[in-house]
Amino acid sequence: MIVKATEACNSNCLYCDVVHKAVKGPTTMPLDVIECLFRRANEFLEETPNEELNVVWHGGEPLLLGPGSYAQALEFQRRHCHDTSARIHHSIQTNLSLFTSEFARVFRELGIDCIGTSYDPIGGVRGPGKPPDTAIYNARFLRGLEVVEQEGFGWGVIYVVTQFTLKRPDALFYFMTNLKPDGGISFSPVLVYGPEPRHLAITPEEYADFLGTIFRLWWPHSERFRGVEPFRSLLRNAREGACSLGCGESGQCAASHWNLAPDGRVSHCGRSHDWGLLDYGSIFDRSLADMRRDGQRDILAQRNEVLTNGDCQGCRLWLICHGGCPLDSWAATGSFGHKTPWCRATKRFVETHFEPVTGLRLKFSVEDGPLGGSEPLGATSAQVESTP
């Protein structure tokens, strides 16, 4: 459950959807929506005793709610989830600029021990104001990071690769790894859907070659910098037969995701909400179980079969990327039934960089035919061959 606690933000990152989207409904989530979330969570977990619920506090900037709102969320959980609370797990994604010891105390009580964040030291990309004030952003981020570490939290960081990043990939890699995030670094491509930040956009080929450059820096020190993505996941795919690179490439999001907007509307994910897609109704009107059975999810559940008989038929990397994120597919083609342009990045990186550098060759087979989006990936095998 991605909880968009607020769509307000104290930063003005150039590529952020929140900055460019038209405001619909309340910007910040009222307490009655948060309370209803925990009533629905308890109802769902009582009905599904083998399930767990991961609550991801997101934004905007979720720390704008203040520590008191999270203390109230904890009280709602205690009040409504007496017998199911142990199966609710919290995490948060924040820019850290407002993080204080008061947040640390309530986050510990929520069971959060690692903070998710994002960062970019390159000037003019992230920060308050127009153009973004990078100096203020850097100072606030590093101050928040200092509190995170003093309070004993782990932390991980997302870095969004833009056109600016391509100029000095080596310097950027060393800068980010020298921050020593024990929760790891995830390098992701910028996703540009509108005309405004077009100058930041990169092609799948540029993204693949950026990864290739820093992969050559990472590989000799992979034991030291274990948590770098997508390298860690790809290596697990090669060595352990694990399937998929992450959420967007899992091929299984049909039955696993909800997004809760500030007004209580539930959709599939943040982007589906922004684009008016896959709206499952109000959390006040429908149970989570009912929303998970919503017929709109069928097209996502059927996507794997459509792709393995279509765009992705015969692709040896199918079990790594599953045609990419369905929402990226919709953004590029207006349909969930096609692979995304970012599949080109995965293929290029694997064949041009990963396999030649590691001497490993990925070879997957699907033994029982196309897999449904909500089915386990048990009917697969993965082999690793050493290249000559």
Residue 191 CA to its chain's centroid (Å): 13
H or E segment to which residue 205 belongs: helix 204-218
What length is written for the chain? 388
Which domains does the chain carry? 2-209+252-296 (3.20.20.70)
Give 108's contacts (C-beta < 8 A, 6+ positions apart): none
φ, ψ of residue 362 in degrees (nearest 5): -85, 130
Beta bridge partners of 155: 115
The predicted pLDDT at position 242 comes to 79
CB 96 within 8 A of CB 115: yes
Integer Cα distance of 298 and 2 in angstroms: 20
Q: How crowded is residue 188: how many other Cβ atoms within 10 Å of its Cβ?
A: 16
Integer Cα distance of 14 and 131 in angstroms: 9
- Could you report how far apart the first and last alpha carbons of the chain are, in Å? 46
Residue 140's alpha-carbon distances to 67, 133, 201, 251, in angstroms, are 18, 11, 26, 37
Token pair belonging to 274: 């922004």
Integer Cα distance of 386 and 367 in angstroms: 22
Integer Cα distance of 302 and 140 in angstroms: 45
As to burial, measured by CB atoms within 10 angstroms (0-12 exposed, 13-18 middle, 19+ buried), residue 175 is: middle
| Widest pairwise Cα distance in the chain | 62
Would you tell me the crossing angle of helices 204-218 and 231-240 to the nearest 10 degrees?
80
φ, ψ of residue 333 in degrees (nearest 5): -125, -10
Integer Cα distance of 287 and 272 in angstroms: 19
Residue 208's alpha-carbon distances to 165, 185, 204, 215, 388, in angstroms, are 13, 17, 6, 10, 23
φ, ψ of residue 102 in degrees (nearest 5): -65, -40
Q: For the chain, how big is the Rg over CA atoms in Å?
A: 21
Token pair belonging to 163: 């056109």
Question: Would you give per-residue pLDDT tens digits along the chain (388 residues)?
Answer: 999 999 999 999 998 877 666 666 668 999 999 999 999 999 999 999 999 999 999 999 999 999 999 999 999 999 999 999 999 999 999 999 999 999 999 999 999 999 999 999 999 999 999 999 999 999 999 999 999 999 999 999 999 999 999 999 999 999 999 999 999 999 999 998 877 788 999 999 999 999 999 999 999 999 888 899 999 999 988 888 878 788 888 888 898 999 999 999 999 998 899 888 999 999 999 999 999 999 999 999 999 999 999 999 999 999 899 999 999 999 999 999 999 999 999 999 999 999 999 999 887 655 433 333 323 332 233 333 333 3
The predicted pLDDT at position 365 comes to 53
Transcribe 232-245 into DSSP letters: HHHHHHHHH----S
Q: How crowded is residue 168: how many other Cβ atoms within 10 Å of its Cβ?
A: 13
Integer Cα distance of 247 and 252 in angstroms: 8
Token pair belonging to 114: 């690692």
As to burial, measured by CB atoms within 10 angstroms (0-12 exposed, 13-18 middle, 19+ buried), residue 250 is: middle
Integer Cα distance of 78 and 89 in angstroms: 13
